[in-house]
């Protein structure tokens, strides 16, 4: 029953993850990325050389994305890695996100988590840091320990965090998978008692709590 529930929830979590981000934070995230890229590209007074270098980085990033769209994965990853290792912080962060996503899609969870962790540890953007931690946490629900998930999401699960709904859900599911039903139930209660919890998150939390209670009763 545990594995069946996890499989059913897993697809919902993954499909809803991006929807939550873009519905609630999309404009801000885009704005943040633009600001970072703009900072990389230069402000008034920067030299023409630096502006041209930033433009080149932007062009390289778009070319790498085009290679990925065309199925040239190896070449795309090489290009993205060059950008990720560059001094253009904005494009470097975007490239690392894409690299991590590509690794995750190919089943290289360890590599993807390492990239997301690196983004979280190095970016100056609070939103990008939070997003990287969430992505790593979600991957580790299926592929890590409860401690792995908690170490990345505990802060995001705090009451004042805008990301608390997803963070709490991932922690609860990781706890359930680990057999720590006390932590799972406590975290699920936080979701159910929060008036701002998304309805979809609240519904899954209630299903999981009912499943736990049914198991204990049996």
Residue pLDDT tens, the chain, 218 long: 445 544 445 555 555 554 454 454 444 444 455 445 555 545 444 444 445 445 656 667 777 767 667 766 788 788 788 877 877 667 788 888 888 888 998 899 999 999 999 999 988 888 889 999 999 999 999 999 999 999 999 999 999 999 999 999 999 999 999 999 999 999 999 999 999 998 999 999 999 999 998 876 55
Is the CB of residue 88 less than 8 Å from the CB of residue 57? yes
Please indicate, yes or no, if residue 153 is contained in any of the structural domains.
yes
Does one domain contain both 168 and 137? no
Does one domain contain both 150 and 176? yes
Does one domain contain both 107 and 182? no
10 Å CB burial of residue 162 (0-12, 13-18, 19+) is middle
Q: Determine the pLDDT at residue 15.
A: 52
Does one domain contain both 152 and 126? no
Does one domain contain both 123 and 205? no
Does one domain contain both 136 and 28? yes
Q: Determine the pLDDT at residue 138.
A: 93
Does one domain contain both 136 and 174? no
Q: Determine the pLDDT at residue 50.
A: 47
* End residue of a domain, out of 81, 108, 143: 143
Owner of token pair 């070319």: 63
The number of distinct structural domains making up the chain is 2
Q: What is the pTM of this model?
A: 0.72
Does one domain contain both 128 and 41? yes
- State the residue range of the domain holding 33: 24-143
Please indicate, yes or no, if residue 87 is contained in any of the structural domains.
yes
Q: CB atoms < 10 A from the CB of 23, how many?
A: 10
Q: Determine the pLDDT at residue 79.
A: 78
Does one domain contain both 69 and 135? yes
CATH number at residue 110: 1.25.40.10
Does one domain contain both 133 and 154? no
Nearest C-alpha neighbor of 134 from the set 14, 2, 26? 14
């Amino acid at each position: 029953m545990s594995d069946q529930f996890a499989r059913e929830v897993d697809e919902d979590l993954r499909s809803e993850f991006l929807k939550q981000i873009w519905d609630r934070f999309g404009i801000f995230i885009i704005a943040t990325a633009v600001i970072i890229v703009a900072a990389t590209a230069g402000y008034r007074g920067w030299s023409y050389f630096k502006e041209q270098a930033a433009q080149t980085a932007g062009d390289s990033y778009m070319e790498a994305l085009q290679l990925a769209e065309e199925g040239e994965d190896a070449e795309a990853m090489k290009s993205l890695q060059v950008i990720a290792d560059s001094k253009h912080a904005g494009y470097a962060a975007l490239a690392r996100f894409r690299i991590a996503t590509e690794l995750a899609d190919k089943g290289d969870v360890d590599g993807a988590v390492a990239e997301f962790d690196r983004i979280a540890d190095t970016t100056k953007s609070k939103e990008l840091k939070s997003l990287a931690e969430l992505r790593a946490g979600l991957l580790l629900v299926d592929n890590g320990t409860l401690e792995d998930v908690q170490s990345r999401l505990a802060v995001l699960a705090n009451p004042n965090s805008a990301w608390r709904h997803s963070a709490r859900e991932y922690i609860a599911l990781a706890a359930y998978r680990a057999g720590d039903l006390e932590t799972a139930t406590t975290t699920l209660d936080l979701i159910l008692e929060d008036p701002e919890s998304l309805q979809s998150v609240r519904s899954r939390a209630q299903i999981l709590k009912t499943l736990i209670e049914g198991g204990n009763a049996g």
